[in-house]
């Protein structure tokens, strides 16, 4: 192949291998970073298929730095001030006191266990302060911890990235002073550099956010160009910041994302969704590229000291950092234990180590293999052990069965009461104060909010909730609600009432790919359910048995009885849908909407006692 074909194959290979590894990791339910690193090692030093230095030349590390900046900007867009106020003390302690403890202990270990020089050890310790949303986020989505611990870990992962990167830059700038001057001179150099970095980051990031808000608020940018224009502004802010103050771009774009996330003048939700898709591609490409540059000989040079260093970070450094930084916090003992076992390193550590190793030449030769060994070791250990640990600590529900109801009108309350009586958590979300008050009087958990608000998503993130039932009277609101909650529950976990006019293309509303899964049965529209309740039908739980099977149930309540949910013998809640008729089995419990008068007439005709026909509970 000529050079042009080699470049084409290399670029296509990065995209195919990176995205393919993430898809395979999802299918196998493994941390994606493990497969990305394995594929990168295979594509690079093992097979020689991919040579990033030959492919990109001098463009490699500017591209890596800019890509990391975009990832951190997307992370900053998810940082909201109201969340930080709720858990600010714990987060700030972890990213300040905890970061200092991690830096100190990791530096000591790098110097005494890996045999690094003091300056290189200081730099490695600073690099390993970071955890990062690229690895913490997917792991949290896999574990799904309950309570505040998920938000604390999420915030720590995002905030610590620019702090760790800036700290690494400070150490790198001060390296000459470490060997040629005393502690006072080193501290002075680092202090000045930190002040410059903060000042430049706040100035450039603030200007970038203001320009973005002005452009969007005055409608100077059409909708189809808003995401590309913002991408342009982020890249410009990152570059300008680095030109004003070396390596301050990561801090700048993170602040820019935070500013945009917390302003209320223009919506940025659609931009966030674009950045999330871009992040997936960037993470996949970066891990493939950086892993392909590491030689197996670099790992062998570390010998037994490398794994021992990783064990020390996991068993000693992280628990010590969490213990010291959470003294007096509101976190429970189990939450602190879980945080002490959650510090995987990711793309920021890999990219920063690679950049500085290139600049330092032979003196920084041990940075990259040590960092990648820590990434592989921490992701493997935490990825495989954090989910069972969270379950053992009572902080995780891997398959949440609870139901969020979009609306708290009387019919929705009756159905929610039936679900709750069967042992499953529910949450009623409505912006009608009368409905919310009535639900609270009936003992149902509620959230007074618009179902389309961010507050609704925040409320639904509580533990045990895993699907949405949009049951409002407005079909368009139901559609929007299912779209809003897809990011939290996925397409398989959002349901809505069928539309009465779905067969009429003129008034059918949203097309099928925008709708949630249709609930209960094709005719179970809002008006039809409302009519059933008006006629006196009730929600009843009936357990089937060999003697009283589904056929007998139909014989008692007729074909008009509407099966809403099926509770399996393993205590799972199955939501009945319009595209598949229910087929319950003996041992399962039906939560259904029935006419109790029909059952009474059948019982009188058969002169059979109720208790012989199955266990029933009216709600």
The answer on 83 and 178 residing in a single domain is: yes
Tell whether 362 and 451 lie within a shared domain. no
Residue 35 in any domain: the answer is no
67 and 195 within one domain: yes
Question: Is 45 part of a structural domain of the chain?
Answer: no
Residue 76 has pLDDT above 90, yes or no: no
Answer yes or no: is 13 within a domain.
Answer: no
Q: What is the pLDDT of residue 463?
A: 62
Same domain? For 388 and 463 the reply is no
Predicted confidence (pLDDT) at residue 358 exceeds the cutoff of 70: no
- Number of structural domains (the chain) is 2
Angle between helices 60-76 and 133-143 (to 10 degrees): 50
Given a cut of 70, whether residue 361 has pLDDT beyond it is no
10 within a domain of the structure (yes/no) = no
Question: Do 222 and 266 sit in the same domain of this protein?
Answer: yes
pLDDT at 181: 54
Q: Assess whether pLDDT exceeds 80 at residue 598.
A: no
Task: Please compute, for residue 220, the number of CA atoms within 13 A of its CA located in the half-sphere on the CB side.
Answer: 10
Closest CA to 321 of 164, 151, 480, 521: 164
d(CA 406, CA 331): 31
Within-domain flag for 565: yes
Q: Looking at the structure, tell me whether residues 122 and 199 fall in a common domain.
A: yes
- Per-residue pLDDT at 610 exceeds 60: no
Q: Which of 129-138, 346-355, 454-463, 485-494 has the lowest mean pLDDT?
A: 454-463
| Lateral strand order in the sheet of 426-430 | 446-448, 426-430, 402-406, 465-470, 494-496, 517-518
| CATH number of domain containing 322 | 1.20.1530.20
Q: Which of 392, 420, 438 is the last residue of a domain?
A: 392
Q: What is the pLDDT of residue 322?
A: 92
Q: What is the pLDDT of residue 413?
A: 93
pLDDT tier for residue 611 given thresholds of 50, 70 and 90: very low
Question: Which residues does 601 contact at the CB level (< 8 Å), separation at least 6?
Answer: none
Nearest alpha-carbon partner for 375 in 75, 606, 546, 136: 136
Q: What is the pLDDT of residues 553-590, one digit of tens each?
A: 888 888 888 999 999 888 888 999 988 878 888 889 99
Query: Going by C-beta distance under 8 Å and a sequence separation of 6 or more, which residues neighbour residue 598?
Result: 556, 557, 558, 560
Q: What is the CATH number of the domain that holds 585?
A: 3.40.50.720
Query: Would the pLDDT of 362 be above 80?
Result: no
Structure confidence at residue 437 (pLDDT): 92
State which of 369, 392, 415 marks the end of a domain.
Answer: 392
* Domain-located, residue 24: no
Regarding whether 235 and 186 lie in a shared domain, the answer is yes
State the pLDDT confidence band at 398, using cuts at 50, 70 and 90: low
What is the predicted pLDDT for the residue at 172?
Answer: 73
* Choice among 21-35, 205-219, 267-281, 438-452 with the minimum mean pLDDT: 267-281
Q: Mean pLDDT over residues 278-296, rounded?
A: 80
At residue 101 the predicted structure's pLDDT band, cuts being 50, 70 and 90, is very high
Mean pLDDT value across residues 155-165: 76
Domain extent for 118 = 55-392
Average pLDDT, the chain: 81
Helix axes 550-557, 596-606, angle to 10 degrees: 100
For residues 440 and 376, membership in a common domain is answered with no
Which carries the bigger pLDDT value, residue 108 or residue 135?
108
In a domain, 460, yes or no: yes
Answer whether residue 507 shows pLDDT above 70.
no
pLDDT at 185 (0 to 100): 64
Residues 349 and 414 in one domain: no
- What pLDDT shows up at residue 227? 83
Q: Are 88 and 207 in the same domain? A: yes
CA–CA separation, 320 and 313 (whole Å): 10
Domain stops at, among 372, 392, 412:
392
**40 located within any domain:** no
Confidence band, pLDDT 50/70/90 cuts, at residue 190: low
Alpha-carbon dihedral of residues 282, 285, 287, 292, nearest 10 degrees?
-160
More confidently predicted of 612 and 449: 449
């Amino acid at each position: 192949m000529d050079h042009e074909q080699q470049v084409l194959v290399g670029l296509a290979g990065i995209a195919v291998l990176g995205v393919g590894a993430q898809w395979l990791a999802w299918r196998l339910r493994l941390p994606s970073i493990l497969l990305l690193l394995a594929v990168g090692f295979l594509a690079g030093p093992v097979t020689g298929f991919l040579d990033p230095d030959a492919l990109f030349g001098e463009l490699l590390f500017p591209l890596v730095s800019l890509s990391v900046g975009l990832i951190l900007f997307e992370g900053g867009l998810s940082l909201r001030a109201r969340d930080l106020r709720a858990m600010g003390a714990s987060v700030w302690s972890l990213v300040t006191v905890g970061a200092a403890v991690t830096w100190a202990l990791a530096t000591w270990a790098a110097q005494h266990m890996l045999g690094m020089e003091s300056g290189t050890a200081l730099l490695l310790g600073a690099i390993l302060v970071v955890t990062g949303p690229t690895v913490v986020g997917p792991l949290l989505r896999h574990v799904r911890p309950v309570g505040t611990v998920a938000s604390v870990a999420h915030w720590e992962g995002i905030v610590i990235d620019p702090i760790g990167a800036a700290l690494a830059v400070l150490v790198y700038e001060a390296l000459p002073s470490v060997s040629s001057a005393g502690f006072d001179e080193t501290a002075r150099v680092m202090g000045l550099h930190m002040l410059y970095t903060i000042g430049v980051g706040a100035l450039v990031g603030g200007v970038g956010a203001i320009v973005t808000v002005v452009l969007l608020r005055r409608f100077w940018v059409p909708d189809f160009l808003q995401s590309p224009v913002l991408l342009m502004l982020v890249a410009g802010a990152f570059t300008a910041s680095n030109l004003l103050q070396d390596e301050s771009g990561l801090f700048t774009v993170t602040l820019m994302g935070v500013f945009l996330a917390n302003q209320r003048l223009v919506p940025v939700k659609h931009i966030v969704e674009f950045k999330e898709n871009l992040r997936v591609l960037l993470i996949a490409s970066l891990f493939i590229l950086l892993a392909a540059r590491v030689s197996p000989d670099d790992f062998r040079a570390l010998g037994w000291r490398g794994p021992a260093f990783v064990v020390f970070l996991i068993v000693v450094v992280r628990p010590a950092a969490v213990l010291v930084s959470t003294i007096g916090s509101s976190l429970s003992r189990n939450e602190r234990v879980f945080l002490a076992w959650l510090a995987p390193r990711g793309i920021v550590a890999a990219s920063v180590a690679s950049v500085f190793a290139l600049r330092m030449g032979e003196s920084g030769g041990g940075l990259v293999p040590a960092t990648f060994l820590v990434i592989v070791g921490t992701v493997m250990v935490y990825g495989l052990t954090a989910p069972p640990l969270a379950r053992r600590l009572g902080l995780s529900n891997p398959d949440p069965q609870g139901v969020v109801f979009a609306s708290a009108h009387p019919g929705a309350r009756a159905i929610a009461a039936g679900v709750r009586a069967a042992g499953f958590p529910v949450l009623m979300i409505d912006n009608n104060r009368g409905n919310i008050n009535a639900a609270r009087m009936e003992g149902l958990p509620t959230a007074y909010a618009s179902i389309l608000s961010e507050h609704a998503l925040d409320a639904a993130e509580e533990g045990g909730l895993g699907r949405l039932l949009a049951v409002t009277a407005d079909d368009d609101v139901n559609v929007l609600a299912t779209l809003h909650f897809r990011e939290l529950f996925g397409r398989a976990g959002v349901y809505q009432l069928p539309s009465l006019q779905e067969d009429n293309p003129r008034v059918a509303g949203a097309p099928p790919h925008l709708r949630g899964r249709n609930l209960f049965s094709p005719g179970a529209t809002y008006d039809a359910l409302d009519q059933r309740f008006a006629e006196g039908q009730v929600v009843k739980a009936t357990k089937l048995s060999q003697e009283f099977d589904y056929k007998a149930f139909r014989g008692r309540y007729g074909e008009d009885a509407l099966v809403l949910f099926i509770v399996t013998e393993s205590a799972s809640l199955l939501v009945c849908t319009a595209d598949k008729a229910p087929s319950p089995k003996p041992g399962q419990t039906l939560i259904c909407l029935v006419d109790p008068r029909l059952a009474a007439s059948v019982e009188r005709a058969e002169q059979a006692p109720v208790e012989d026909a199955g266990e029933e509970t009216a709600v």
